[in-house]
Amino acid sequence: MKESKRVARPVSPVRQPRKVLDRSVRSTFVANVALAGLAAITGVISARLLHPAGEGELAAIQTWPVLLGTLAMLGLDSALVYFVARQPERGRQFTSTAVLIGFLSSLVMGAVAWFALPFALRAQPPQVVSAARVFLLIGGIYALVGIPHGSLRGARSFTAWNIFRITPGLAWLFMLLTSWLMGNPNAVPLSRWYLGGSLVCGLPFLVVVNKKLQGPLRPNARVVPEMLRFGLPSAVTSIPLTINLRFDQLLIIAFLPARLLGLYVVAVSWSGGVAPLLQALGTVLFPHVSAERDTDCQGHLLATALQTGALVAVATSVPFMLLAPFGLPLVFGAGFAPSIPSALVLVPAGAILAWARIAEAGLQGLGRPTIVLVAEAVAAVVTLATLPVLLHTNGIFGAAVASLLGYSTIAIFTIVTIRRTTHQRIRSLVIPTWSATKSLTVRGVSALSGQYRSSGRHRSPVAHPFSRPGHIHGRHSLRGVSD
């Protein structure tokens, strides 16, 4: 008699306890706050060291190489989040394959950009163009130490990931302070120091990634097509994403003096203070939604995350708007006072964008990266239609208004798509319920007073951004470390 063969069933990802999710969100939020603090400190030091003209030169050196280096990653960092979350036993193989592809892509992109940069930076002095060519090395650094960041997110090792996100910011702070002490700071050597610091800080990270992941390390060509099918829409999204996030700065670089670019960069830096917690929600949401197999539960996860995000967006943007008229020149220097009108528009724009990023992370977790591409593309059309006119008529203030219009378009498109995909109502996605507001307030007060208890006796299901709610009705600083 033949023995019956047992058919192996795919193992569903183990759902993490709420306390683990709490810890992931808290550690990511703390890291985002630390990064925002480092970005603020380094932004102030850089502005006072370089003044508007030097700040503009540094932005001109970094902008195009950073954008092209990000595009050369082919969205493989996002692909790693998705595939490692779903198949953790092959984490090392996915990672090594992605790094190899990304590095080859960065070489090709860098070779093309070498010849194109003099045209893109034609309004800048020759030394800035030469420094920007050297800064193209950032693409290879991104491939080597940037792509594996997605692996730790997919493995939900957020503590290790967050630690290594902070180290480049600390290194940049050390470089600025050293330059200050040495005297005669200049954008060109600072840009080269930044390259070296990024590489040195990233290499130890690879050892940690190797220990945290499972499976063989050898790349596998057979996984390339499926990774690119997920990653390429995210990479192509970089094009409209660039238009939405950077086209304003690119136009200023091409046609306006470096001083105006420096003023605009400071306004963008001020608006970045609203993002840390919102970015933490989206960062943790992506892999958790990917691991969840039940569609209804995915919809509830998204609804509670978006409700929480709406509350946080309002609570953080209002103080930054009220403080901008006297806080911005006090922090960055009186020479940056002309940045205030742009900052007053960019703060709510940044809050809307950070909230929309939560929705985009949810769509990626649902396996719908193409929808994110479409959302960014629609917003890019709005930006392309409004930015040149507004920049010409209203200067950098007009650029800020165009950003507000583009970011609002992303938010509207993604929310409508999530409603159709998850069958959640628009109201449950956009408007926080009273129980969600009350519970989030209680949790915030408890966390601040040190009375948080893991037993969760006073928790409401809607309070946690990744709980399954029973009561829900069914910029981007160039030198900040990205999430």
Give residue-wise pLDDT tens across range 363-384: 877 777 778 888 888 888 898 8
At 417, the pLDDT band (50, 70, 90 cuts) reads confident
Please check the confidence at residue 407 and state whether its pLDDT lies above 80: yes
Answer with the residue of higher pLDDT: 86 or 397: 397
Res 450: pLDDT = 44
Contacts of residues 426-432 at CB distance under 8 Å and 24 or more positions apart, as own/partner, are 427/473, 428/303, 428/307, 428/472, 428/473, 428/474, 429/302, 429/303, 429/306, 429/307, 429/359, 430/306, 430/310, 431/307, 431/310, 432/307, 432/308, 432/310, 432/311
Give residue-wise pLDDT tens across range 311-353: 888 888 888 889 888 888 887 878 888 889 999 999 999 889 8
Spatial CB neighbours of 400, under 8 Å, sequence gap ≥ 6: 248, 264, 267, 341, 342, 343, 345, 346, 349
Q: What are phi and psi of 398, to 5 degrees?
A: -65, -35
Rounded to whole angstroms, how far apart are CA atoms 480 and 268? Answer: 12
Please check the confidence at residue 466 and state whether its pLDDT lies above 50: no
Please check the confidence at residue 121 and state whether its pLDDT lies above 80: yes
Res 452: pLDDT = 38
Please check the confidence at residue 149 and state whether its pLDDT lies above 60: yes
Residue 431 per-residue DSSP state: S
Percent of the chain with pLDDT over 90: 5
Res 445: pLDDT = 42
Res 439: pLDDT = 54
Res 437: pLDDT = 57
Please check the confidence at residue 471 and state whether its pLDDT lies above 50: no
Res 301: pLDDT = 73
For the full predicted model, state whether its pTM sits above 0.75.
Answer: no
Indicate the average pLDDT of the chain: 75
Query: Residue 450 corresponds to which tokens in the numbers above?
Result: 């040190």
Give residue-wise pLDDT tens across range 11-52: 444 444 455 555 666 777 777 778 777 877 887 788 788 877
- Average pLDDT in the 150-173 region? 82
Res 476: pLDDT = 40
Give residue-wise pLDDT tens across range 219-240: 888 888 888 887 777 777 667 7
Please check the confidence at residue 127 and state whether its pLDDT lies above 60: yes
Give residue-wise pLDDT tens across range 176-214: 888 888 877 788 888 888 888 888 888 888 888 888 888
Please check the confidence at residue 390 and state whether its pLDDT lies above 80: yes
Answer with the residue of higher pLDDT: 113 or 41: 113
Res 482: pLDDT = 36
Res 155: pLDDT = 79
Please check the confidence at residue 84 and state whether its pLDDT lies above 70: yes
Res 9: pLDDT = 41
Give residue-wise pLDDT tens across range 41-62: 887 788 788 877 787 788 888 8
Percent of the chain with pLDDT over 70: 77
Give residue-wise pLDDT tens across range 438-462: 555 544 444 434 433 333 333 333 3
8 A C-beta contact, residue 356 and residue 241: no
In sequence order, which ranges of 333-433 are alpha helices (DSSP H)?
340-365, 369-422, 426-430
Rounded to whole angstroms, how far apart are CA atoms 183 and 187? Answer: 13
* Degrees, nearest 5: CA angle 137-145-244: 70
Please check the confidence at residue 137 and state whether its pLDDT lies above 70: yes
